[in-house]
Amino acid sequence: MSTTEAPGSSNFIRSIINEDLESGRYDQVITRFPPEPNGYLHIGHAKSICLNFGLAAEYHGRCNLRFDDTNPTKEEAEYVEAIKEDVAWLGFDWGEQPLFASDYFAQLYEWAILLIKKGKAYVDSQSAEQMRVNRGTLTRSGIDSPYRDRSVEENLELFEKMKNGDFPDGSHILRAKIDMSAPNMNLRDPAMYRILHARHHRTGDTWRIYPMYDFAHGQEDSIEGVTHSICTLEFEDHRPLYQWFHKELEIFAPQQIEFARLNLSYTVMSKRKLLQLVNDQHVSGWDDPRMPTISGMRRRGYPAAAIRTFCERIGVGRSANWIDLSVLEDCVREQLNETACRRQAVLKPLKVTITNYPTDKVEELTAPNHPQQPEKGSRVLPFCNELWVDRDDFMEEPPKKFFRLGPGREVRLRNAYIIKCDDVVKDDSGEVIELRCSADLDTLGKNPVGRKVKGIIHWVSARHAEKLEVRVYDRLFNQENPDKAENYLTALNPESLQVTEALAEPTLREAKGGETFQFERVGYFTVDSKESQEGKPVFNRTVTLRDTWAKIK
RNA sequence: UGGGGCGUCGCCAAGCGGUAAGGCACCGGAUUUUGAUUCCGGCAUUCCCAGGUUCGAUUCCUGGCGCCCCAGCCA
């Protein structure tokens, strides 16, 4: 599965891989997607997933799913499961078992000892604060730790005790001995191992020390034979260190390649902020349909194929980018237009009575499930003299370009007759509460001769309508870039969720969780797989239809 | 004012010395029992700026300008 999409346009990563293959530096392509299980995956991760798994498939290589679980204070098994589900749903296969950084803890520990013995690592006993001060600044070099020249024996002994849990958190730390005056801050004796008396989701209480990202990631890649280790731009400064460990340890050296992370308008992408949205209950959870998480989008009704298309379409480069939400929505519509069956449902009901239609008569009209795909079949639409239409499809004083219902106007009822608005009934407050119309009963499946009726509106039989809960979603944030607000929370869109009731054609009652329909002229709606019940589906608005009338207005 | 990057249409993005792909958005127009879809057509004499090399530069060189990342015992 997964790579049915058209091959993407060229990008700098493919160029690098081609060169590496031609030069013989590597003879295959092995990549990896290395999430930290400290939150749910979002659309930015999808970009990385599609890139890594996509490249591996393209070059007939392999892509590992490897959890970078080196910080037990932030990671949980729940996240591991959620991440696996999301990657699989996106359509990618990581082989028999996912891998874990924690699988390599013993090896990493041995390598740390090797570096100590080589005089390339030492135990520092400064406080975190002292270390920070002594690290210097961007423009001023750091100064050596007073513990920098401890003997190998002493370092070995202290590190052993760190491992055994003899010291409290923060009392000592293992550092690589590189250069405290390096202009690249990452080379100023970076931390390799810290003491953490924390229970790890997989190794339990086995370890009291845990490796830092820099001392773990490159070696994990090396162990797995990863040839191209693709990460985001902020790790570019870490590359010299990534390479330093491979060289000092004399192990297989993968090539790290950095690309620009995804930014999407009207959303935030940092895990910290997404976690806060969840914890402070601005959303119902990581999988709230308004979240930019994979699970949120899945619940919202975004097809996996649409997300894959999106990731291919936005390309991959090294310059900061800000992708417009419309690109994603276009991918979703493109996919759903092909796959979703058509239905009729009214969200803002206005009563219509067909005055010349027998009160006790009910007709079963036939409507195609997909006008462009007859093979999708059809369904039955009951029609009687009492209907609901959408309030937006009637105007008492319509402007010239409005070709829907108005006093004396004619309109086509989708899949049914042409009707004419003869009377407008109002309540005491002057609000329109009913339209009394007459139908041209000779217009079923054909157009009248001598006049043409341009307007077409959707409707539902009032006596057969199902009342269904519909959740109308809008963008979670009002501002294109929530991060530029004083506090991104102030940019939250208070109307991002409107719960309402739809009056829908009877067939919709049987809709199953995860199914998506196009409510004609309105948008795509997907049955919420979490909160729907048998015979009582709850619909999430996935995305609206394009609406050029809205622009004309 | 240290180091590392980036700068091609409103937003992405190809281009790798030979005379500016594509997508989204936008604007026209055709078809349409969804103002949807589909379909045609338009949309950078110009590639951050200034010099230079060259028959020829978005592509090479030099100098500017602008933006992003780095001072976690996070990843």
Question: What is the bridge-based pairing of β-strands A121-124 and A173-176?
Answer: antiparallel
* pTM (two decimals): 0.96
Strand partners, A503: A346, A467
Placement of tokens 């209480």 in the chain: A205
Which nucleotide comes closest to A415 if you measure CA to C1'?
B33
Report the distance from CA of residue A136 to the C1' of nucleotide B50 in Å, as an integer: 38
Q: Which residue, counting CA atoms, is nearest to the C1' of nucleotide B26?
A: A551
Q: Do residues A300 and A48 lie in contact, with contact meaning Cβ atoms separated by under 8 Å?
A: no
**pLDDT above 90 as % of chain A:** 96
Active-site residue among A66, A163, A271, A308? A271
Q: What is the CA radius of gyration of chain A?
A: 31
Report the distance from CA of residue A463 to the C1' of nucleotide B50 in Å, as an integer: 76
For A136-168, b/e burial (b = at least 16 CB within 10 A) is beeeeebeebebeebeeeebeebbebbbeeebe
Q: How far is CA A12 from CA A8, A17, A32, A218, A450, in A?
A: 12, 9, 18, 22, 62
Mean predicted confidence (pLDDT) in A438-465: 96
Mean predicted confidence (pLDDT) in A400-426: 97
**pLDDT above 70 as % of chain A:** 98
Residue A6 — pLDDT band, cuts 50, 70, 90?
very low
- Is A486 an annotated catalytic residue? no
Residue A400 — pLDDT band, cuts 50, 70, 90?
confident
Residue A1 — pLDDT band, cuts 50, 70, 90?
very low
Helix axis angle for A105-117 and A213-223, nearest 10°, is 110
Residue A246 — pLDDT band, cuts 50, 70, 90?
very high
| Confidence check: pLDDT of A499 > 80 | yes
Mean predicted confidence (pLDDT) in A157-161: 98
Task: Return the pLDDT at A3.
Answer: 32
The top-level CATH class assigned to A3-259 is alpha beta
- Is A454 an annotated catalytic residue? no
Mean predicted confidence (pLDDT) in A157-179: 98
In chain A, list all ranges with CATH 3.40.50.620. 3-259
Mean predicted confidence (pLDDT) in A247-253: 98
| Confidence check: pLDDT of A217 > 60 | yes
Q: Coil, strand or helix: which one is A427?
A: coil
Task: Return the pLDDT at A9.
Answer: 66
Q: Please write the tens of the pLDDT for every residue from A462-488.
A: 999 999 999 999 999 999 999 988 899
Report the distance from CA of residue A522 to the C1' of nucleotide B20 in Å, as an integer: 40
Q: Please write the tens of the pLDDT for every residue from A83-121.
A: 999 999 999 999 999 999 999 999 999 999 999 999 999
Beta-strand runs (E) in A16-61: 30-33
Q: Which residue, counting CA atoms, is nearest to the C1' of nucleotide B37?
A: A337
Q: Please write the tens of the pLDDT for every residue from A116-126.
A: 999 999 999 99
What is the 3 state secondary structure string of A283-320? CCCCCCCCCCEHHHHHHHCCCHHHHHHHHHHHCCCCCC
Which nucleotide comes closest to A337 if you measure CA to C1'?
B37
Residue A403 — pLDDT band, cuts 50, 70, 90?
very high
- Look at the domain A345-457 and name its fold: Ribosomal Protein L25; Chain P (2.40.240)
- Look at the domain A271-341+468-552 and name its fold: Ribosomal Protein L25; Chain P (2.40.240)
| Confidence check: pLDDT of A373 > 50 | yes
Reduced to 3 DSSP states, what percent helix, strand and coil does chain A have, rounded to the nearest 5?
Answer: 30, 25, 45
Placement of tokens 């797989």 in the chain: A529
In chain A, list all ranges with CATH 2.40.240.10. 271-341+468-552, 345-457
Task: Return the pLDDT at A490.
Answer: 95
- Is A271 an annotated catalytic residue? yes
Residue A2 — pLDDT band, cuts 50, 70, 90?
very low
Q: Do residues A491 and A485 lie in contact, with contact meaning Cβ atoms separated by under 8 Å?
A: yes
Q: Please write the tens of the pLDDT for every residue from A63-82.
A: 999 999 999 999 999 999 99
Report the distance from CA of residue A16 to the C1' of nucleotide B16 in Å, as an integer: 13
Mean pLDDT of chain A: 96
Task: Return the pLDDT at A363.
Answer: 98
| Confidence check: pLDDT of A369 > 60 | yes
Task: Return the pLDDT at A31.
Answer: 98
Which nucleotide comes closest to A417 if you measure CA to C1'?
B33
Closest CA to A36 of A194, A178, A213, A172: A213
Q: Give nucleotides in strand B with any atom < 7 A to a protein C-beta.
A: 1-8, 10-16, 21-27, 33-38, 67-75
Q: Please write the tens of the pLDDT for every residue from A311-355.
A: 999 999 999 999 999 999 999 999 999 999 999 999 999 999 999
Helix axis angle for A105-117 and A152-164, nearest 10°, is 160
Report the distance from CA of residue A150 to the C1' of nucleotide B71 in Å, as an integer: 25
| Confidence check: pLDDT of A5 > 70 | no
Task: Return the pLDDT at A280.
Answer: 97
- Distance between CA atoms of residues A80 and A72, nearest Å: 13
Which nucleotide comes closest to A172 if you measure CA to C1'?
B73
Beta-strand runs (E) in A88-178: 99-100, 121-124, 173-176
Active-site residue among A135, A202, A208, A261? A261
Task: Return the pLDDT at A8.
Answer: 53
| Confidence check: pLDDT of A357 > 90 | yes
